[in-house]
């Protein structure tokens, strides 16, 4: 329910000031973004290993819960051949996760709820981020840039054409994940044509990214869905350096959206109240839409399993306590900032990553349950309602 402000200006000002003075509730200002998103990549794995989601005490599909609370975009990561996600369970492993089959099932679940989809190509068999952009094992023997470009094109094109054939073409596609230093350059064998812009390889990186974008355009030519392309950087402080170089030396201009990760406890150069001017600056500089593709914040410092949480002892942001109300207020304020800066939307990273018997490379359970939109009994918490304030 979007707030409708019909009160006299003086009354509205008093109400707004009261809401901003503490973290007891959402900031009372009207705003609506195009996209309120949730990265739900872990959901299938969690549910298949004992995780249960509830709303008002009633067990429900997490996709339905998110839809009912205002989510209209689901983000899903895609790994090339994540065999390790099956092998980590040993003899009990029955399937891979975040491969094409798993992603297909997730897109169907999103579609059943009428939500759009952002498909995040990592171009790796595992996590891609600023520190790691591992080369897929299937591409390890490539030694020529033209062959790598063809491999990236064919993989991207075939993936999207397959999904389109199933009626599941995503509305948005990411070419790489947190590509601060480029793509396809860590754990690379000798002779591999790496694309590391931190070593000056802007032309090579741009050539590979452009072929991935070509694949998106070609795949959508015969589709009723005209998928938009996003490029993704971690930390807004890196956006200008990356896109200044990529759009000139790298020759990459055919994309619609600049996306960045913004975890305010980690990305401290820009405070939440500076997001609007930051986003507006990016829009002006590059004439592109802008989105926050990942964000999160703890609502408690307690834990629910033996898996060490990624946020565990960080000092709080001033004005945003580690409480359910503090998280809700931060997200509401951030959404207002994104709106005021002309941003397209924002996505919360893995808000359904609750404790279960799920395993990953770091442990069993969740390293994120204190940042999820569910309490330790699986019930949705008020932060999930920030999309409807």
Burial degree of 130 (CB within 10 A; 0-12, 13-18, 19+): middle
| pLDDT band of 7, cuts 50, 70, 90 | very low
**Res. 318: pLDDT tops 70:** yes
In tens, the pLDDT along 295-314 reads 999 999 999 999 999 998 88
| pLDDT band of 12, cuts 50, 70, 90 | very low
Q: What is the pLDDT averaged over residues 122-126?
A: 98
In tens, the pLDDT along 96-107 reads 999 999 999 999
Active-site annotation holds for 302: no
Burial degree of 280 (CB within 10 A; 0-12, 13-18, 19+): middle
Residue reference for tokens 């930051």: 278
Catalogue the E-assigned strands of 133-268: 172-175, 182-183, 195-196, 228-234, 257-261
| pLDDT band of 1, cuts 50, 70, 90 | very low
**Res. 10: pLDDT tops 90:** no
Q: What pLDDT, on the 0 to 100 scale, is given for residue 30?
A: 57
Beta pairing, strands 172-175 & 182-183: unpaired
**Among candidate residues 240, 241, 220, 238, the one with its CA nearest the CA of residue 229:** 220
In tens, the pLDDT along 135-166 reads 999 999 999 999 999 999 999 999 999 999 99
Catalytic choice (294, 337, 350, 369)? 294
**Res. 8: pLDDT tops 80:** no
Phi, psi of 82 (to 5 degrees): -80, 60
Looking at the DSSP bridge assignments, the partners of residue 78 are 121
**Res. 283: pLDDT tops 80:** yes
Q: What pLDDT, on the 0 to 100 scale, is given for residue 131?
A: 95
In tens, the pLDDT along 321-340 reads 999 999 999 999 999 999 99
Q: What pLDDT, on the 0 to 100 scale, is given for residue 319?
A: 95
Phi, psi of 279 (to 5 degrees): -65, -45
Q: What pLDDT, on the 0 to 100 scale, is given for residue 23?
A: 52
Catalytic choice (116, 178, 204, 328)? 178
Q: What pLDDT, on the 0 to 100 scale, is given for residue 341?
A: 98
DSSP state of 316: P
State percent of the chain over pLDDT 90.
90
Active-site annotation holds for 294: yes
Q: Write down all domains in the chain, each with its CATH number in brackets.
A: 35-388 (3.20.20.80)
**Res. 77: pLDDT tops 60:** yes
Distance (Å, whole) CA 255 – CA 289: 10
**Res. 78: pLDDT tops 70:** yes
| Average pLDDT, rounded, for the chain | 93
In tens, the pLDDT along 19-69 reads 333 454 444 445 689 999 999 999 999 999 999 999 999 999 999 999 999
Residue reference for tokens 């994309």: 255
């Amino acid at each position: 329910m979007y707030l409708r402000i019909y009160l006299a200006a003086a009354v509205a000002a008093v109400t707004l000031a009261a809401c901003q003075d503490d973290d007891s509730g959402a900031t009372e200002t009207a705003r609506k973004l195009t996209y309120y998103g949730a990265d739900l990549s872990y959901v299938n794995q969690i549910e298949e290993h004992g995780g249960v989601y509830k709303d008002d005490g009633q067990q429900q599909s997490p996709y339905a819960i998110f839809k009912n609370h205002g989510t209209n975009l689901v983000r899903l990561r895609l790994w090339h051949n994540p065999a390790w996600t099956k092998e980590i369970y040993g003899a009990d492993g029955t399937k891979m996760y975040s491969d094409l089959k798993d992603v297909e099932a997730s897109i169907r679940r999103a579609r059943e709820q009428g939500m759009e989809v952002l498909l995040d190509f990592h171009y790796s068999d595992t996590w891609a981020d600023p520190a790691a952009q591992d080369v897929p094992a299937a591409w390890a023997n490539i030694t020529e840039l033209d062959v790598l470009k063809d491999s990236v094109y064919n993989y991207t094109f075939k993936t999207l054409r397959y999904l389109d054939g199933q009626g599941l073409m995503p509305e948005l596609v990411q070419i790489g994940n947190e590509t601060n230093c480029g793509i396809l350059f860590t754990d690379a064998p000798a002779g591999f044509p790496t694309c590391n812009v931190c070593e000056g390889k802007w032309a090579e990186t741009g050539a590979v990214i452009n072929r991935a974008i070509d694949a998106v355009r070609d795949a959508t030519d015969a589709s009723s869905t005209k998928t938009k392309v996003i490029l993704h950087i971690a930390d807004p402080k890196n956006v200008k350096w990356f896109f200044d170089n990529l759009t000139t030396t790298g020759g990459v201009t055919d994309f619609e959206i600049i996306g960045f990760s913004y975890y305010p406890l980690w990305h401290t150069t820009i405070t939440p109240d500076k997001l609007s001017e930051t986003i507006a600056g990016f829009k002006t500089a590059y004439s592109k839409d802008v989105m926050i593709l990942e964000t999160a914040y703890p609502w408690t410092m307690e834990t629910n399993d033996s898996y060490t949480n990624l946020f565990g002892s960080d000092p709080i942001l001033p004005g945003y306590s580690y409480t359910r109300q503090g998280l809700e207020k931060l997200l509401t304020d951030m959404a207002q900032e994104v709106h005021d800066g002309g941003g397209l939307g924002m996505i919360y990273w893995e808000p359904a990553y609750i404790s279960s018997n799920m395993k990953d490379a770091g442990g069993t359970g969740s390293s994120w349950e204190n940042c999820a939109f569910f309490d330790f009994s699986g019930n949705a918490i008020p932060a999930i309602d920030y999309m409807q304030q």
